[in-house]
């Protein structure tokens, strides 16, 4: 077999790798924390790659970002103040700001260069969300920000972090101790959502996140979808003490999206309910 050109080999699981053909590297920068690349991947288009891991591609990033953001935002009856931890490319911020109810969206990311890189090269993902007057971008460690943030302030907290198995330092942001601190800055009628890695390829790490959340919140919902450019199932966990994701009414879900002026490509009330019912998948 003849193979020509440059390829990115990325671990999708402990015993599985994905092969991406790189058509063109458009930009490359090194920060104190990581290496960032903006490249054109065959079949996926313009893509953000951090430390040789695909983060977002223009063809399928909406699967991930809509599922991370829209269920939690829509289940809340009136989300005004939203905290995003991570999400440097601005796509999560973009999804939050689609809701007309939002008055303040705070995005906290530790790496200023990722944010600046995204502003410069990834307009097709953030779509000007950094310039929205409701946006407030803070360059700070997430743990430190949560420790200093006002208590009972945020209606929705969205954690768009690196995978819990990506590096040891990331694991602390999925710990029971961290969630207990986050809970202090959440309003009484609030909801939290996090991406939680892959239950199939990394079941132990996924169960760690689930256990950490279950120790702090009374109502938990688990759902997942397959992300083509990740080569694996990506899990999400939604948590609250007052908002039960299992009480979802698909018609009301879609009605809220419409009333708030939210346009989506993937998420609907029926689809979210279906993914919630499917729950999680584990290896045999």
**Secondary-structure breakdown of the chain: helix, strand, coil percentages, each rounded to the nearest 5:** 35, 35, 35
Largest CA distance in the chain: 60
Catalytic, 51? Answer no
Residues in the chain: 284
> Beta-strand (E) ranges in the chain?
6-13, 16-30, 35-41, 45-50, 53-57, 81-86, 104-109, 135-139, 154-160, 186-195, 219-227, 232-240
Annotated binding residue 141: yes
Annotated binding residue 263: no
Q: What is the DSSP letter of 167?
A: -
- Residue 224 · residue 280 · CB < 8 Å: yes
Please, is 18 exposed, middle or buried when counting C-beta atoms within 10 Å of its C-beta (0-12, 13-18, 19+)? middle
Residue 189's CB is within 10 A of a number of other CB atoms, namely 13
CA atoms 99, 218, 87, 266: torsion sign = negative
Annotated binding residue 109: yes
Which residue out of 111, 132, 155, 160 is catalytically annotated?
A: 160
Annotated binding residue 34: yes
Instruction: Give binding residues for S-methyl-5'-thioadenosine as ranges.
Output: 34, 109, 141-142
Instruction: Give binding residues for spermidine as ranges.
Output: 65, 89
Which residues are known to be catalytic?
160
Instruction: Give binding residues as ranges.
Output: 34, 65, 89, 109, 141-142
């Amino acid at each position: 077999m003849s193979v020509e050109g440059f390829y990115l080999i990325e671990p999708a699981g402990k015993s599985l790798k994905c092969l991406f053909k790189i058509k063109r590297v458009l930009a490359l920068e090194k920060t104190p924390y990581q290496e960032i690349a903006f490249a054109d991947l065959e079949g996926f288009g313009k893509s953000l790659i951090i430390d040789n891991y695909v983060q977002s591609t223009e063809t399928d990033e909406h699967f991930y970002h809509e599922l991370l953001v829209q269920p939690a935002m829509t289940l809340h009856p009136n989300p005004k103040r939203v905290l995003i931890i991570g999400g440097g490319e601005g796509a999560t911020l973009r999804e939050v700001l689609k809701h007309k109810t939002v008055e303040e969206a705070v995005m906290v990311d530790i790496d200023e260069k990722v944010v600046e890189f995204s502003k410069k090269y990834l307009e097709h993902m953030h779509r000007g969300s950094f310039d929205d007057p409701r946006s407030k971008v803070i360059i700070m460690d997430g743990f430190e920000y949560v420790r200093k943030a006002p208590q009972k302030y945020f209606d929705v907290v969205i954690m768009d972090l690196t995978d819990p198995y990506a590096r040891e330092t990331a694991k602390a942001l999925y710990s029971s101790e961290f969630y207990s601190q986050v809970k202090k800055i959440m309003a009484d009628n609030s909801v939290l959502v996090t991406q939680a890695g892959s239950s199939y390829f990394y079941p132990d790490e996924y169960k760690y996140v689930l256990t950490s959340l279950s120790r702090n919140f009374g109502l938990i919902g688990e759902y997942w979808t397959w992300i083509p450019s990740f080569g694996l199932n990506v899990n999400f966990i939604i948590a609250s003490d007052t908002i039960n994701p299992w009480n979802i009414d698909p018609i009301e879900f879609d009605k809220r999206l419409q009333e708030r002026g939210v346009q989506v490509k993937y998420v609907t009330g029926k689809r979210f309910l279906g993914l919630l019912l499917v729950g999680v998948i584990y290896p045999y």
